[in-house]
Amino acid sequence: MVFLGEAQASANNAFDYPEGERHPIVAFLRQDRDSTPNFDLAQRELSARGWQNVSLKQAALFDKERLNSVHPHAGASFEDALRDGFAAIAFSEPIP
């Protein structure tokens, strides 16, 4: 499952973004294809990786091939989520 939203960087975020900055987020959570998107689990996974005030607005199933048009690392992150259960991309440009 792919989740789209935004989150605020805490001091220990995995991308070393300045604390307090808000960034667009694409999160990948391994789920059964016919299950309801688990927004709560995706938010907890992001919080565990140094993101706070997480706001996930959309969730959908996507094909890996289509994901690469969203971000160059999206396909690889999708594969990471299939293997590890979760992965995320935080876009480098902060939200003003």
Residue 64 maps to a domain: no
Question: Considering its fold, how many domains does the chain have in total?
Answer: 1
Average pLDDT estimate for 85-89: 89
Residue 66 maps to a domain: no
Q: Give residue 67's pLDDT.
A: 66
Residue 32 maps to a domain: yes
Closest of 87, 89, 78, 66 to residue 5, by C-alpha:
89
pLDDT tens for 2-11 read: 999 999 999 9
Residue 41 maps to a domain: yes
Residue 95 maps to a domain: no
pLDDT tens for 3-50 read: 999 999 999 998 899 999 999 999 999 998 899 999 999 999 999 999
Q: What is the pTM of this model?
A: 0.84
What phi-psi label fits residue 82: left (phi over 0), alpha (psi between -120 and 50 degrees) or beta? alpha
Residue 16 maps to a domain: yes
Q: What is the extent of the structural domain holding 12?
A: 2-59+75-90
Element (H, E) at 64: helix 64-67
